[in-house]
Amino acid sequence: MARRGKKKGRPVSGWVVLDKPVGLGSTEAVSKIKWLFQAEKAGHAGTLDPLASGMLPIALGEATKTVPYVQDGAKVYRFTVAWGEERSTDDLEGPVTKTSEKRPSEDEVGALLPKYTGVIQQVPPQFSAIKIAGERAYDIAREGETVDIPPREVEIARLEIVLHEADRTLFEVECGKGTYVRSLARDMGRDLGCFGHIADLRRTEVYPFTPDDFVTLEELEAAVPPPPAEGEERMPGARFAALDDLLVETLAALESLPQVPVGDDAANRIRLGNPVVIRGRDAPVEADEACITARGRLVAIGAIEQGMFKPKRVFTC
């Protein structure tokens, strides 16, 4: 007896810029969004801890091909450091491992910020997804072992104090890929001699998306109408119309790349994997990466060499 094939989802494509609530894991959030949209495939562009809230860009369908461009984008976080305690997880989840009666002044905290701005060396938290000899660091740490994680180079474009109180400080940071905000809290606390951990963390931006792109789970769930009543007919796709209106188009993820419009004939040749000559006064002659559009829709990503576009990734959306 032949096995039944796995049911496929809809071929919907685009980005859901989710305002993730505290308590929801990134993988769980992706599964929820995939189910709501009945999408064929989905993936996120950068993990956000369950205790953190804010921007979790989730790609659906063809947009999953643009995930690396969002993962590499700058990120902005607002985070509160509670002074006086260091914790095993560098946030509220883990037990207290070190304490201090000292509390830093705003001037002391401000004087430290230049040390954490620019290209710096940073040791990821013990409880992180970094792989050590093939194992995740958090799996080793959960077994009670200390993980020897080598420092990594990360870039902090901006680190500012938003509000300072007696026992905590609210910061805003703009940073590059691979930066651990929990490590910032831990290291600043050690440098100040008072210890510290993350008491609240919210990601507000992931380039090229902004808070204007945010959508909540409540808004998404409200956009899904109930199943049709018995005997009621609906146009194909009508059930998802309001939900699909909340998507950000796939092309928005490629804001950092040159975008070159072409006609329908050239677009069809590119979709078949063929190179085409790029024409137009503003068309680049050379580009390591560029994207081609037709009628405002994304066609392909590729390289331009001597005025010839050579596709690397083709899109059907």
282 belongs to the catalytic site: no
Residue 48 in this model has a pLDDT that exceeds 80:
yes
The whole-number average pLDDT for the span 243-272 is: 95
Residue 130 in this model has a pLDDT that exceeds 70:
no
- Are both 8-72+207-227+238-255 and 75-203 of the same fold? yes
In angstroms, what CA-CA distances link 38 with 217, 232, 257, 316?
15, 21, 30, 18
pTM of the model: 0.88
Report pLDDT for 316.
86
Tell me which of 138 and 99 has the higher pLDDT: 99
Residues across the chain:
317
Domain boundaries, given as residue ranges, for the chain: 8-72+207-227+238-255, 75-203, 257-314
Catalytic residue (choose from 19, 49, 91, 187)? 49
Report pLDDT for 126.
72
Helix (H) or strand (E) segment spanning residue 30: helix 26-37
Superfamily of domain 257-314: PUA domain (2.30.130.10)
Determine the topology of domain 75-203 in CATH: Pseudouridine synthase (3.30.2350)
Under the banding of pLDDT at 50, 70 and 90, the label for residue 145 is: low
Report pLDDT for 1.
47
Share of the chain above pLDDT 90, in %: 77
Report pLDDT for 13.
96
Beta pairing, strands 276-277 & 287-294: unpaired
Residue 7 in this model has a pLDDT that exceeds 60:
no
Q: How many CB atoms lie within 10 A of CB 244?
A: 16
The whole-number average pLDDT for the span 221-243 is: 73
Residue 136: φ, ψ to 5°: -70, 140
The whole-number average pLDDT for the span 140-159 is: 81
pLDDT digits (tens, 9 = 90+) for 172-218: 999 999 999 999 999 999 999 999 999 999 999 999 999 999 999 99
Residue 18 in this model has a pLDDT that exceeds 90:
yes
- The domain defined by 8-72+207-227+238-255 carries CATH number 3.30.2350.10: yes
Report pLDDT for 140.
58
